[in-house]
């Protein structure tokens, strides 16, 4: 049975960075080596909790009711909330000394959380300084280095699995320059993902982008599509979008998504949005883990909501994707001629990159209180490996 879905389609026409910190002084043992020692990780994270968040802190009945409404309306999946804190890492925490380093530690217990992240409203790392995030199982993210410094001086960490999370700020003792690091939010992720990295949350009918034959002709265009973790107000959500080219063809990192994906977010909210590139399974099966090709932060350039006859949002990423990620800037067309066939490449429910196929000419229709005949009606086709459709995100 064919499914009819009304939506806006982008018709494609054409970790945190896991960097390396090079220490100039060979007398100092690189801190990265320490993370390979289980005893060291256990010792360094053995401290009292700086912040305890209890399940009773939230109205879960109201949250579940709101999320149910969002699901039925096919809105972006809400994954968590921000909890305000006020912590100056350098002034509020006494460091320990370890093999030529000062190490500042901040530990959180978030009861019931699936993942935990952090938001800095003042973020400026000096060269040689680094941040690491560690969970109770010894998994860690880092180093986060001065590469992540932005003009707007904000940053959000990729959430890490677990309830007990320790943030480390590591500074070589030989360096006199001072970083500026103020924590303003703990990100409490409650979304009940099935496995790591929100993988496997899309419906079983969805088709991975690297399945053949569905994805064979779209291996170039897929490189522009990214998963978005966006903040709007006090909550975090998941969505999809793509790098988009401009007429100057100059590689400016414009990114196109829907207005319903955080269109009403503030400038400071957008400063901590996260864009995950190459977030896909390596093959057709639901196995394998995507890389951490993440850009943090963007600025709003243009947009229009459903009531105005569209649903688009154009943002400018805070930096260009690394060439090593092999990014692609997808094209666009102002033509109003209905497309006879095509695909949608997206991240349904924040899952790994999927592809949905249509083989019948699009027709116009109305959607969710929008202007009459302002949207495309798509009849998704069953293909070799499934029946890709659309979901929230």
- pLDDT tens digits, residue range 359-392? 999 998 887 767 777 778 999 999 999 887 877 6
| pLDDT value of position 29 | 60
Per DSSP, the three-state class of 381 is coil
| pLDDT value of position 349 | 87
Residue 352 DSSP one-character state: S
Question: CA 206 to CA 202: how far, in whole Å?
Answer: 7
Q: How do residues 181-231 score in pLDDT, each as one tens digit?
A: 999 999 999 997 654 444 555 556 899 999 999 999 999 999 999 999 999
Q: Decide if 190 contacts 114 (C-beta within 8 A).
A: yes
Closest to 115 (Cα-Cα) out of 174, 15, 191:
191
All CATH 2.40.10.10 domain ranges of the chain, comma separated, are: 4-15+200-379
Partners of 110 in beta bridges: 53
Question: CA 264 to CA 270: how far, in whole Å?
Answer: 10
Q: CA of 13: how far to CAs of 234, 343, 371, in Å?
A: 36, 10, 25
Q: Concatenated DSSP letters for 87-145?
A: EEHHHHSPPEEETTEEEEEEEEEETT-SEEEEEEEEEEPPTT-EEEEEETTS-EEEEE-
| pLDDT value of position 307 | 79
Say yes or no to pLDDT of 6 above 90. Answer: no
Question: CA 203 to CA 374: how far, in whole Å?
Answer: 28
CATH architecture of 31-61+72-189: Sandwich (2.60)
Say yes or no to pLDDT of 25 above 80. Answer: no
Q: How do residues 326-363 score in pLDDT, each as one tens digit?
A: 999 999 999 889 999 999 999 998 999 999 999 999 99
Say yes or no to pLDDT of 63 above 50. Answer: yes
All CATH 2.60.120 domain ranges of the chain, comma separated, are: 31-61+72-189
Q: CA of 343: how far to CAs of 5, 10, 257, in Å?
A: 14, 9, 16
Residue 198 DSSP one-character state: G
CATH of domain 4-15+200-379: 2.40.10.10
Q: Decide if 232 contacts 262 (C-beta within 8 A).
A: yes
Q: How do residues 243-274 score in pLDDT, each as one tens digit?
A: 999 999 999 999 999 999 999 999 999 999 99
pTM of the model: 0.89
């Amino acid at each position: 049975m064919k499914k009819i879905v009304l939506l806006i389609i982008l018709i494609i026409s054409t970790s945190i960075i896991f960097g390396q910190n090079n220490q100039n002084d060979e007398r100092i043992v690189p801190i990265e080596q320490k993370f390979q020692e289980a005893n060291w990780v256990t010792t360094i994270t053995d401290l009292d909790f700086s912040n305890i968040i209890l399940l009773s802190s939230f109205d879960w009945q109201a949250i579940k009711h709101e999320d149910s409404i969002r699901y039925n309306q096919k809105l972006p999946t809400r994954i968590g909330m921000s909890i305000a804190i006020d912590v100056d890492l350098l002034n509020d925490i006494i460091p320990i000394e370890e093999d030529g380093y000062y190490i500042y530690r901040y530990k959180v217990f978030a009861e019931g959380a699936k993942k935990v992240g952090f938001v800095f409203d003042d973020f400026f790392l000096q060269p040689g300084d680094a941040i690491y995030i560690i969970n109770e199982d010894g998994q860690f993210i880092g180093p986060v280095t001065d590469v992540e410094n932005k003009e707007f001086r904000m940053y959000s960490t990729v959430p890490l699995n677990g309830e007990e999370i320790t943030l480390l700020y590591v500074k070589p003792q030989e360096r006199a320059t001072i970083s500026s690091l103020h924590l303003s939010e703990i990100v409490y992720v409650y979304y009940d993902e099935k496995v790591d990295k929100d993988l496997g949350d899309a419906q079983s009918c969805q088709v991975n982008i690297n399945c053949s034959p569905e994805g064979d002709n779209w291996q170039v265009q897929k490189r522009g599509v990214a998963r978005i973790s966006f903040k709007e107000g006090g909550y975090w959500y998941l969505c999809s979008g793509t790098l988009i080219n401009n007429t100057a063809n100059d590689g400016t990192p414009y990114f196109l998504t829907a207005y319903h994906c955080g269109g009403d977010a503030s400038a400071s909210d957008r400063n901590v949005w996260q864009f995950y590139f190459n977030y896909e399974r390596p093959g057709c099966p639901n196995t394998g883990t995507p890389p951490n090709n993440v850009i943090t932060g963007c600025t709003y350039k243009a947009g229009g909501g459903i009531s105005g006859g569209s649903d688009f949002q154009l943002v400018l990423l805070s930096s260009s994707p690394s060439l090593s990620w092999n990014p692609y800037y997808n094209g666009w067309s102002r033509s109003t001629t209905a497309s006879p066939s095509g695909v949608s490449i997206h991240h349904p429910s924040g899952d790994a990159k999927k592809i949905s196929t249509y083989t019948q000419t699009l027709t116009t229709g109305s959607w969710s209180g929008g202007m009459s005949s302002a949207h495309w009606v798509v009849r998704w086709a069953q293909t070799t490996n499934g029946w890709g459709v659309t979901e929230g995100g």
